[in-house]
Chains A and B, each alone.
Chain A
Amino acid sequence: MFPDRRPRSFLDPTVLSRLASVPLFARRPMQGNVSGRHPSPHRGSSVEFAEYRKYVPGDDLRRLDWRAYGRSDRFFVKEFEADTNLRCCLVLDTSGSMEFGSEGVPKIEYARKIAAALGHLALQQGDAVGLSCVAKGLVRNIPPRRNPAHLMSLFDVLEEAKPHGETQIVPVLHELAETIRQRALIVIISDLFVEPELLRGCFQHLRFRRHDVAVFHLLDPQEIHFRFRRPMRFLDMEGGPAIFAEPNEIADRYQKALGNYLDGLHQVVLESAVDYHRVTIDENYEQVLMRFLVGRTRARGVR
């Protein structure tokens, strides 16, 4: 598969081969450059009838529906749906918090696996794939391309991505919403440690730009359960102030804060029609991706 390349830690060929059986669909019409397997907002030459349209001078006479003329003595042009490819933009959070992993695997590694698998799947079916690494700003940005050689450079970037610095995902998402051409699939892989209300603006901005937004929200089991026995001094992985806490004392309020956050985020993704997947990083990423792909198959976009 990658004869001249060294093996990547985040790539598992067996997983990729299993995932390849399920195509990656967009939930809404995409605007690609070439023909593909995704619905396009434009009429095209597929076999799928779309509508009749009155003939206007200049239309290709080959498309006139002579039978309709025979019945109505009027000229109608028969139009068909267009199939196109999509542009898949992977947005990878590389802030310091992505380095956290209580069970050996940090979130960034998990995110790499998801990003690499999705990139590979997309490229396999002829879609263009790009990658944006986000930390304090837009750290790396690879525009979407559908060249198979592009995948190698994308993997290189994934491999080189190091978690560092604080999260500034909100301005970066606004920026990407503006810079990426309309109607793209934007996959955000992040721990989303941002206020849900700030994310609401980002998601609505992306939605306004007719992007199909999918989110992989990575959380560590320790972050959810917050089970500690001894007093802890928590050092902020993004350079903020340290906090000393007695877990027994603070656990209740931590859980309450976490619950409020998750409730708020849930509300935001519902209102923003975001394909949201909360993932604890002790889950098998293959199952997560399979669930993602199957879910999209069901919600395949209509024209």
Chain B
Amino acid sequence: MSFLQPMLLAALPLVALPIVIHLINQRRYQTMRWAAMMFLLAANRMSRGYARLRQWLIMAFRMLVIATLIFAISRPLAGGWLGLTAGGRADTTIILLDRSPSMTQRSVGGGGSKLETGRRQLVDTLKTVGSSRWVLIESSTNKPRELETIDALLATPSAEATSAASDLPAMLQAARDYIRANKSGQTEIWICSDIRENDWNADSGRWQALRDGFLEFAQGIRFHLLAYPQADPGNLSVRVANVRRQKTAEGAELLLTVRLSREGGSTERLSIPLHFEIGGARSEITVDMASPQFELKDHRIPLERSQERGWGRVSISADANPGDNDAWFVFDQPSPRRAIVVAEEPQTARPLELAAAIAPDPTVQTSAEVVATEQLPTVEWEKISLVLWQAPLPEGKAAQQVRTFIARGGYVLFFPPRTPNGTEFLGARWTTWGDNNKEVPIESWRGDQDLLANTQSGTALPVGQLQVRRFCGLTGEFTPLATLRGGSPLLARVTTDRGGAYFCATTPAVTDSSMASGGVVLYVLVQRASAAGSEALGSTRQLVAGDTSGEDPTQWKRVDGAEDALSTDYPLHGGVYSAGERLLAVNRPTTEDGAKILSDPRVAELFRGLDFTRVDDRAGNISSLIQEIWRLFLIATMVAMLVEAGLCLPKPARAAGVAS
């Protein structure tokens, strides 16, 4: 049991008051000369039995009256929050609200989603507990926001579910920063989440730093986790893995690859109707699903010949979690991939030009042009998707143009100049060429993502077969994607807000590497970068909720989905939006589908050493987590007083009979 006013429990020693009064009373005796001693002696010799028991009972009930009264005014709580407020009323209460789509899961019996239930429970509980200040940190912005009252948690749109994933470590980081900046007193942090692995990033190294950070606070931070760990094995999620438009003899068609995931990994055969809506036109097919994952590959939907761009939605029937039943997509004619090659050596420029100019698909228009450094001002940057730069790193105006190009979403692949001049660009610079006469093998490369990722069939690129004869050193801040033996980077990426800037430590020249002769790696490298760069040129874009890199959400207008969302929250809600001529499809992150729930020991491990309590609730629970039970104690007080009074009542006076 816990108490809202635990300080009042300090008055519990008053329970001994009846004993003290009894002892004092014993000491305040009167002395009297008495004649009828024979009766007193006889009374003393008699069995005290019930009389003594009665005295003890009276004493016990008097103590009980005081104890229950103290308990009653200490405002006891009944519920699972053990040790809820042992430290008294909090100065600041920070609420971390997980708004990820998985929190919209509902229970079978109805009664609201996990998020709705959690908010209501938090409001009920925190209203009872009380605090001087309420701060909300919700998962979409991770920014602290003060609430005037805790009731605002129910009303604020900032607490509604979104399609964006949560980042619990980042939210805790924000909480820690808030506590540090505001020097708040006793602080309680309440986390409402369904503890999905993708939201909690339990493997992240940030947790250790967070633990250490919170332990530094002298005032003591208390953590309360309101967890909703129940997963619904019957829940299905739908996602559009790929969409492309292609011309046919009749006109055009849309090739949609739809992926269905089932939570819980059941292999029961299900017939699932899939609803397609393209530009308002609806169609439906039924698919049979007999595995945890199902992919409908290149489902063809005919289009009007004139419909070159548009949007659509794939839906499944309502299930436990309505947040993952829709997937939106936009389509358009593929943008032409235009590349320019800035090279100081013709033997380097030619392979790059070829790699950029040869189209991987007949439907894709590719072109490449070799441009001298002096001609850069005349280049139509807004039509370029890729820049291949084998020259001293740009400086001055050229550097500014390249930065603008990257910020717009363009990709640049730098190769080392023959004579590095020490110029730095985006935090990286070439040092000197190595003087190796032997080939340097490639030690490792990132096959899971980025330019050197495995193919769609899962086959690795033959990066290891490349022969690197000479390479140039690279220093600065970058992320290596491929590393040579000895630790020198072969391919590295510099962090940018949008677009991409890559540094390749060797050139396709025959004297430097076999990139030109064994051209697969170079070709894939260039075409992937070019394709990524051309996406920014297209009039449609697929976005992950919460990630608006390169976009200006203030210009967005809703086309489909996100009916109840505020316009400022459009990037957080799945749907289709228009920004001028462009169409944007926003979907929940891939990691949201089928995310596992963290095990209890794992969660406990994350809060190891911190003052942490956890209670598991379920979606739709209508009973309060805690409730005040002082009335029960007051009733107990009254009952105890009545019993005590009954015991104290004198017996029908026998003395009267004696006297008569």
How many A-B contacts are there with CB distance less than 8 Å?
Answer: 124
Contacts of B51 in A (CB 8 A): 249-250, 252-253
The 0/1 profile, CB within 8 Å of A marked 1, for residues 39-71 of chain B is: 111111010100110010000000000000000
Return the chain B residue nearest A263 by Cβ: B658
With contact pairs A225-B655, A243-B44, A255-B655 given, residues A193 and B29 touching in the complex (Cβ less than 8 Å) = no
The answer to whether A220 has its CB under 8 Å from any CB of chain B is yes
Q: What B residues does A253 contact at CB under 8 A? A: 42-44, 46, 48, 51
Give the distance in Å from the alpha carbon of A236 to the alpha carbon of B28 in the complex. Answer: 20
Tell me whether B651 is interfacial, beta carbon within 8 Å.
yes
Are B34 and A257 in touch, CB under 8 angstroms? no
Q: Name which of B35, B36, B659 has the most chain A CB atoms within 10 A of its CB.
A: B35
Are A231 and B28 in contact (CB-based, < 8 A)? yes
| A258 at interface by CB-CB < 8 Å | yes
Are A256 and B35 interface neighbours, CB within 8 A? Answer: no
Q: Which B residues touch A259, using CB under 8 A?
A: 654, 657-658
Residues in chain A near residue B31, CB distance under 8 A: 232-233, 235
Enumerate chain A residues within 8 angstroms of B46, measured Cβ to Cβ: 253, 256-257
Assess whether A231 is in contact with B37, with CB atoms less than 8 Å apart: no
| CB proximity of A118 to chain B, nearest CB, Å | 23
Q: Known interface pairs A230-B30, A232-B29, A252-B51. Does A280 touch B659 (Cβ–Cβ under 8 Å)? A: yes
Residue of B nearest to A163 (CB): B35
Interface status of B25 (Cβ within 8 A of chain A): yes
- A2 on interface, CB distance cutoff 8 Å: no
Q: Which residues of B contact A223 (CB under 8 A)?
A: 35-36, 39
- Contact of A58 with B by CB under 8 A: no
Which residues of the other chain, B, contact A231 by a CB distance below 8 angstroms?
25-26, 28-30
A261 near B38 with CB under 8 A, answer yes
CB of A165, distance to nearest CB on chain B (Å) = 13
Residues of chain A from 200 to 257 with CB closer than 8 A to chain B in the complex:
220-221, 223-228, 230-238, 240, 243-246, 248-250, 252-257
Report B412 CB to chain A, min CB distance, Å: 100
A230 and B28 contact, Cβ closer than 8 Å, known pairs A225-B659, A253-B51, A259-B658: yes
The answer to whether the Cβ of B1 comes within 8 Å of any Cβ in the partner chain is no
A contacts with B, residue count (CB < 8 A):
46
CB within 8 A of B38: which of A193, A221, A246?
A: A193
Q: Are B655 and A234 in contact (CB under 8 A)?
A: no
Contacts of A195 in B (CB 8 A): 38
Given contacts A97-B35, A231-B28, A232-B30, contact A256 B43 (CB under 8 A): yes
- Is A276 located at the chain interface by the 8 A CB criterion? no
B40–A97 contact, CB under 8 A?
no
| Residues on A with beta carbons closer than 8 Å to the beta carbon of B659 | 221, 224-225, 280
Q: Does A100 contact B (CB under 8 A)?
A: yes
Q: Is the CB of B33 within 8 A of A235?
A: yes
A156 to B654, CA, bound (A): 41
CA distance A225 to B659 in the complex (A): 7
Residue of A at shortest CB range from B40? A243
B10 interface contact, C-beta 8 A: no
Choose from A96, A235, A261, A262 the contact partner of B32 (Cβ within 8 Å): A235
Closest B residue to A238 using CB positions: B37
Q: Is the interface of B mostly helix, strand, loop or mixed?
A: helix
A252-B651, A259-B658 known; A235 vs B34 contact (CB < 8 Å):
yes
| Complexed CA–CA distance, A228 and B657 (Å) | 18
The CA of A248 and the CA of B51, in the complex, are separated in Å by: 9
Given contacts A231-B25, A250-B44, contact A255 B658 (CB under 8 A): yes
- B30 contacts which of A233, A237, A238, A260 (Cβ < 8 Å)? A233
CB distance from B280 to the nearest CB of A (A): 92
A191 within 8 A of B: yes
B544 to chain A, nearest CB (A): 81
Give the distance to chain A from B418, nearest Cβ to Cβ, in Å. 112
User: When chains A and B are docked, how far (Å) is the Cα of A282 from the Cα of B659?
Assistant: 12
Which residues of the other chain, B, contact A225 by a CB distance below 8 angstroms?
A: 655, 659
Q: How far is the CB of A298 from chain B (nearest CB, A)?
A: 22
User: Which B635-654 residues have a C-beta within 8 angstroms of A?
Assistant: 651, 654
In the complex, residue of chain A having the shortest beta-carbon distance to the beta carbon of B25: A231
Residue of B nearest to A253 (CB): B43
What's the Cα separation between A252 and B651 when bound, in Å?
8
Task: Report the bound CA distance from A245 to B51 in whole Å.
Answer: 13
Query: Is the beta-carbon distance between A255 and B654 smaller than 8 angstroms?
Result: yes
Cα–Cα distance between A156 and B36 once the two chains are bound (Å)? 28
Smallest CB-CB separation from A259: which chain B residue?
A: B658
In the assembled complex, the Cα of A225 lies from the Cα of B43 at a distance in Å of 14
Q: Are A257 and B39 in contact (CB under 8 A)?
A: yes
Query: How far does the Cβ of A276 sit from chain B's closest Cβ, in whole Å?
Result: 15
With a 10 A CB-CB cut-off, give which of B31, B39, B44, B655 has the most chain A CB atoms.
B39
| Smallest CB separation, B26 vs chain A (Å) | 5
In the complex, how many angstroms separate the beta carbon of A98 from the nearest chain B beta carbon? 8
Say yes or no: A257 contacts B43, CB within 8 Å: yes
* Residue contact B37 to A234, C-beta cutoff 8 Å: yes
Query: Contacts A233-B29, A233-B32, A254-B40: A249 and B55 contacting too (C-beta < 8 A)?
Result: yes
- Contact A220/B35 with A232-B29, A245-B40 known, Cβ cut-off 8 Å: yes
A257: chain B residues at CB < 8 Å are 38-40, 42-43, 46
Q: How far is the CA of A248 from the CA of B35 in the complex (A)?
A: 19
Q: Which of A94-142 contact B (CB under 8 A)?
A: 96-100, 107
The reply to whether B43 and A250 contact each other, CB–CB distance below 8 Å, is yes
Of all chain A residues, which has the CB nearest B50?
Answer: A252
Q: Which 8 A-B pairs have the closest CB atoms?
A: A97-B35, A253-B43, A257-B42, A100-B35, A234-B34, A231-B29, A257-B39, A223-B36
For the complex with contacts A234-B40, A253-B46, 9 further pairs of A-B residues with Cβ separation under 8 Å are: A97-B37, A225-B655, A230-B25, A230-B28, A231-B29, A245-B40, A250-B40, A252-B654, A261-B39
- The contact sample of 29 A-B pairs, CB cut-off 8 A, is A99-B35, A100-B33, A107-B35, A191-B35, A193-B36, A230-B29, A232-B31, A233-B29, A234-B33, A234-B34, A235-B31, A237-B34, A237-B35, A238-B35, A246-B26, A249-B48, A249-B51, A250-B40, A253-B46, A253-B48, A254-B40, A257-B39, A257-B46, A258-B36, A258-B39, A258-B658, A259-B654, A261-B38, A280-B659
